[in-house]
Structure 1
Amino acid sequence: MNAYGDTYEGPGGEADEDAYENGEGRGRGIGGRNDRGDRADKADSERIFAALPPVHGAGFARTWWGRAWLRALEDTALDGQQLKAGRRYARAGVVGAVSVRPGRITAVVRDRDGTAHRGDVLVQELSGEAWDRLVDLAVDSAGHIAALLDRELPPHLVEDAAAAGLELLPGIGDLEPQCTCEAWDHCPHTAALCYQVARLLDEDPFVLLLLRGRGERALIAALQERSTARAAEAAGGETAGVRPDGAGAAEAPESGAARGTAGVSAAEAFAARDILPPLPAPPVPAAAPGEPPSLDTESDPGPDVDPAALEFLVTDAAARAHRLLSGASSAFTEPELTVGQDAVRLAAGAPATWITARLADGSGRTREELELAVHAWGFGGAAALAVLEGRWAPDTEALRRAEVRLAAAWDADDRPVLRGSDPARWTVVGGDGQLRLGEDGRWWPYREEDGRWIPAGPAAHDPAAALATALR
């Protein structure tokens, strides 16, 4: 049973109780233990993640904050062989359930002979004052809060925090290892634990924030409280005769209309949200797009008008409008397409043969080129088409980052031999796989078939995963 009253389940279901009951399960605060009264309940101050399955041929982190976590580990560890062994352990799935608490992560890791070792990695918590400043920074930008709720760690928040002297991401020496194997540096057990935690961080940056001392519910509650206070201040607060407890409401300022100005302020509209009548329900969208009007009239069309082609375009426009009205797509996410891109989009709907032929001719493609473009479109729309048909040369910095990512994607023993065959393209020497780097930093898998390169799947942030798709 741990310091919070929970039983920790290691691999195989065995409870590792003693190490928790001796008090090691508690996190460290600045200058000692942080006994903050505003910490959320036990469920919010400790999270236990089930053991992750084995993983092969892929990197451990795809997000920028996950990679920053691994950099802190790899820059701190003194023995590269220990790190390499830790990666093998993590890939093999011998790391048990991972416990995450303020200031500490813990797991039981088993050697190949079945010997179990408890590994801990300690991270310094932020003080209560530091958390207050961090909450202020997050509330300053609605985008920060939205990103966190979307399980992303906004880089600007991390940069602003660092400028204010608050380091969210660990640096060199910040990941302090402790293991029952009694190694003085990061051993394979604590290294494997850190590699697994990088996978958890990819999915949920709140894991990092819990390590720094705040659980998700406690942090969201603090953000809501601070946002409400800011809104009250913006609305006038006590300076307008209205105290936060509601007293003095009769002395509230006049509305915008009473002052002779157009409309009302956002603060007033928000304050009246509970007394305004509800908005009418939106109309029920039609079950299917409407039928296009018939263009078969007694009047002959103009010399540049093809009624059959026009009917096809009207039908496509009606289908797109129906998707927008039914919520299946958004006008904000509909990309602005060129004529060539829109021709591929239309061809992807498998129209009649004569329409496909006209789309190929109108976009300057052969039938075979259009078929290949449609194949690419199915994996990623305009972005996939740009990688197939476009050419871009990464600048020196982008090329350096790409080569670093390629080198880190595989262990030295598993790394394929890649040759840079073209700007932003790397081909497997002696194989039929190719990686293409998109301008957004994602990797696209290609496979050689009948002497030409064919898109083999959607893009991936990890080049090893993309190449595995190409070679599958």
Structure 2
Amino acid sequence: MSRYVNTPWGQNWLNIAEPILKAADSGRLQRGLSYARGRVAEPEIGPGTATATVRGSSSYRVRITLPGPGRITADCDCPDPVWPCKHVVAVVFRLGRTIDEDPSALRTLRANDGYSADPAPEPEPEPAGNAGRTRWGSELAADALTPAEAFARPTAPRPDPVAIPDATGEPCYCPPNPRSGVDLEALEALAAIAAGTAMTALVNADVPGHQVREWPEDPQLDAVRIALHVTGPARLESLATAIGRTAAALTGESLAWTFFGPESIAILTDQWQPDPDLHHEVTTALAEFTTADGAPARVTKRMNRWTIDSHHLQLRYGRDERWYPFLRQSNKWWPAGPPATDLTEAVTRLQGSEWGQVMSQIHR
């Protein structure tokens, strides 16, 4: 029995429509099945014919006819040059569901050849001694384990977990027909974004408290999410222009997303005045940084930011009471690693920030 129809009558219809379904490739079969679940209007059924409207990019009219014994034809007014289109397939499946609910519809469709809509009989049951089994079931279970034997088997060891790849690979897809008007570069970018999102979820799956983030509703923040996986300066520039940013600003925000999380991107522009007593504690902790002659490096403060000019480093204090490391490159401050809740830990991270990752993002 097909997974879409539920009765022998519905299955009989799919058997009749088999020439159509066999002519469709797997993509059209899947799309047609999807359309059948909500995009096909109730079919109009008459002797030897059925018509229905399918909602796609526009509304299309499908006609299926059974002109005589063993014959079936179908046509659709959509522009798809390949037969059968997904709309025809959708109506075939939708008719199966209609016939499930009203088997007399199949008799009407087959009126041109005197067909009886009665379904094929179920297999006869086995003689006494095998009550409750069909012959098919008996043959299938002849060499099978009993339930007791199945539950008595020892549990096999789990296979080793699949290793997480170092990086996502190149997108792989079948290019659409050039006449379809699909932007292949945009499609490749979408594939790269999907692969990068899946990679991030896979890497973070074992992190305590990790949850898959929903896509941001704010288009500008969602552009930052997309920028995490966009490759090539032209695409980055195009994305930045779409949201009124420069490519450099968008790169900085994507770095902040990577290291800080989307909720902390505001640390890039937020300036505020923390407790004045904090200044002495910070300058003491940053005394570990020295100049070439061994003297303590000069530390300057502005609002919530402490800067070590000789090392091109900066530590920012967030309203969330976390410390954020930054690196100056090309006269611009870039996020340089994950934030820390402890000042001592923050200074340690500042000394070993993720320079390689920062540089690869800045110069991509």
Normalised TM-score (structure 2): 0.37
Larger radius of gyration: 2
